[in-house]
Amino acid sequence: AIGGTILLLMICAIVYEYRSFPLAKNIEFSSVSNNNDKTNDFIDKNLNQDRRISIGQENDQELIEKGTKRSQKENSIQRKNCNKGFWLKFLLAFSPIVNGSRIISTEPAAKDSLTCLHGLRVFSLGWVIMVHTYIQVFSIAENKTLRTVTERNFMFQTVSNATFSVDTFFFISGLLVTILFYRSLGNLNIEKGNFLKTSFTKFIIMILYRFVRLTPAYLFVLGMNEIAMKQAQAKTVFSPIVIDHLTCEKFWWRNALYLNSLYPRTEMCMLWSWYMANDTQFYVLGILLLLLSVKYFKTSVTIVSLLIVSSWFTTFSIAYSNDYIARIQEPFALFDELYDKPWLRAGPYFIGTISGYILFKTKCQLKLPM
């Protein structure tokens, strides 16, 4: 039902965009025509001096009139866009055209944007894809000898130690949350009696914004995945290892509340979604600490430091108590104990928050020693 509703909203948004497209196209055509008129004027200028004067005056007047009309049309559209109601904005949030154009946009980034993070994302994403490709191939490959030979290669360490590949995204998330917070919300009212109320209001708004931004698409994917797995389980001659057709039907609400990473692997719907659960949990805790830092900065720094140290100590304790030894053959051993739990992944996120604060204070101008 949820997936069908979201699909219907996407279709309605496409229809609205399609009906609005001719007006934008007319404006673009008018702009092209004006440019052609300017080009013709330039050609006539070189051909005939006397004729240029008369034609130039006429064309200039024509360009002024056309430019005025075009400006009026653009202003009317801008006013129309500014006057969009809540429900229209809500509908356009599901538009593949609007969102797709933003994703593939090649416009230059703002001066204060951290474009280096895009490189980190690309390398880390490639790392994750490569590792999961190897894991899937090795799970069904019959040539065990080739696998043994491949694992002896030094470069295979990028696969055997791939459990750290996701930490880059936690680091980036913590960094961006911190630097954006101080840029936009660092000037909270810290007067007595107002700080608590203002902080609580900001906290609720930021949590709701994230929930509304992520959850519809998340639940849509969850619903489509459950349907696909049910169809595959009923018709395929293979035996899928994933049991999402059972776990999603029972435990989908854990995903909706971003709590699924707190439960065992056998009870998870969409196993890979543990990252979204952890990131959301870190976001909630991070926002609380950032709001606290506005008035009680030293206390907030102390709590962040304790969280990082406790995460490292917890990881060591669990690995030691389970006699864990990292092996190339099983890079994801002890998945429930050592891989997906938030108290084991908190370190990179809060190191990212510290880095974000440093970048904010230095205005992203770090001087490296030569």
Angle CA(156)–CA(278)–CA(308) in degrees, nearest 5?
80
The tokens for 314 are: 């917890």
pLDDT higher than threshold 60 for residue 51: no
Asked if residue 229 lies in contact with residue 219, where contact means CB atoms within 8 angstroms, the answer is no
Contacts 24+ apart (CB under 8 A), 5-14: 6/94, 6/216, 6/217, 6/219, 6/220, 7/220, 9/91, 9/94, 10/94, 10/95, 10/96, 12/91, 12/94, 13/91, 13/92, 13/93, 13/94, 13/95, 13/96, 13/97, 13/98, 14/95, 14/96, 14/97
- Window from 138-142, 229-233, 244-248, 260-264 with minimum mean pLDDT: 138-142
pLDDT band at 192, cuts 50/70/90?
low
Structure-block tokens of residue 123: 């390398």
Asked if residue 67 has pLDDT above 90, the reply is no
- Sort residue 14 into left (φ over 0), alpha (ψ -120 to 50) or beta: alpha
Answer yes or no: is pLDDT of 48 > 70.
no
Encoding tokens for residue 172? 């980036």
Q: How many helices (H) and strands (E) does the chain have?
A: 13, 0
- What is the distance between the alpha carbons of residues 131 and 335, in angstroms, rounded to a whole number? 15
Q: What is the CA angle 60-62-66, rounded to 5?
A: 115
Tell me what percent of the residues of the chain surpass a pLDDT of 90: 26
CA atoms in the 13 A half-sphere facing the CB of 149 = 4
Q: How far is CA 38 from CA 62, 65, 255, in A?
A: 11, 14, 58
pLDDT band at 188 (very low <50, low <70, confident <90, very high): low
Range from 156-160, 175-179, 258-262 carrying the lowest mean pLDDT: 156-160
Q: What is the pLDDT of residue 2?
A: 64
d(CA 271, CA 17): 36
Q: Which of the residue ranges 7-16, 64-73, 269-278 would you say has the lowest mean pLDDT?
A: 64-73
Contact by Cβ (8 Å): 335, 265: yes
Q: What is the Cα–Cα distance from 109 to 114, expressed in whole angstroms?
A: 9
Q: Look at residue 179 and tell me whether its pLDDT is greater than 70.
A: yes
Q: Is the pLDDT of residue 94 over 90?
A: no
- Segment 7-35 shows an average pLDDT of 64
- Please give the structure tokens belonging to residue 108: 């230059």
Task: Tell whether the model's pLDDT for residue 105 goes beyond 90.
Answer: no
Residue of higher predicted confidence among 368 and 223? 223
